[in-house]
Amino acid sequence: MFDLTLSFDNGPEPEVTPLVLDVLRERGIKATFFVIGDKLADPERRLLAARARDEGHWIGNHTYTHSLPLGLQHDPDAAEHEIASTQRLIDGLAHPQRWFRPFGGGGNLDARLLKPSVVDHLCSNDYSCVLWNAIPRDWDDPDGWTVRALAQCGAQAWSLMVLHDLPTGAMRHLEKFLDSAAAAGARFRQDFPPDCVPIRAGKIVLPIKSYVSSIEEESAAP
């Protein structure tokens, strides 16, 4: 037996997100969708996020452009451009806990994720920073990711898995994965493992030094 929380990043996508929502609904599974702000400017994609919210899923913030990890951005206004602008777009859809997920470029959990001004923004605006502990690289191996996903679930008591509702073909295998996980004893849940949420409601509750770069301070030096 193991616990499994599902999250879907980088959407919504009209060709993929409806399929994901259908598969989840058929199984009564609730997940979190960490959306890209720029995509929510499209009315069709916003309707998909609204459908997800209406069906009981949580909507979180996954930056506006998903172009460069925040810990690598010299721009001192990156938090405003990437986080605040997205939060305004998902207003009315977002979970009240203001879930925010940074990205490290390929699932990296390191100093690419954040920088000091971003941490300050998250804390001063009561965000919760949601990381992960299972990433089967579905974008990189759209036909083989389910094997890794099942292995990752079986290796720990509670997995917070990152999948992607992107048009790579990977989500064609979502149904198979969920049924295999259920057969292996998965207990699907929507909340997050505490050790994956180092900032909660604006409070730093776990060490974050390894996730925070010093790029902003270095760029400002004389």
Rounded Cα–Cα distance for residues 113 and 198 (Å): 12
Which spans in the chain are helix H? 17-27, 37-40, 43-54, 78, 85-89, 116-124, 145-154, 174-183, 215-220
Residue 7 dihedral angles phi and psi, to the nearest 5°? -135, 150
Residue closest to 156 by CA, chosen among 198, 128, 186, 200: 186
Q: Tell how strand 186-189 and strand 2-11 pair up.
A: parallel
Indicate if the alpha-carbon torsion angle 165, 145, 130, 2 is positive or negative: positive
The single residue of 110, 164, 173, 191 carrying the catalytic annotation is 164
Q: Are 115 and 70 in contact (CB under 8 A)?
A: yes
For every residue of 63-127, which 3-state class applies, written as one string?
CCCCCCCHHHCCCCCHHHHHHHHHHHHCCCCCCCCCEECCCCCCCCCCCCCECHHHHHHHHHCCC
Residue 202 dihedral angles phi and psi, to the nearest 5°? 85, 0
The single residue of 3, 9, 42, 81 carrying the catalytic annotation is 9
Q: Quick check: is 9 catalytic?
A: yes
Q: Quick check: is 42 catalytic?
A: no
Rounded Cα–Cα distance for residues 164 and 103 (Å): 13
Residue numbers annotated as active site: 9, 164
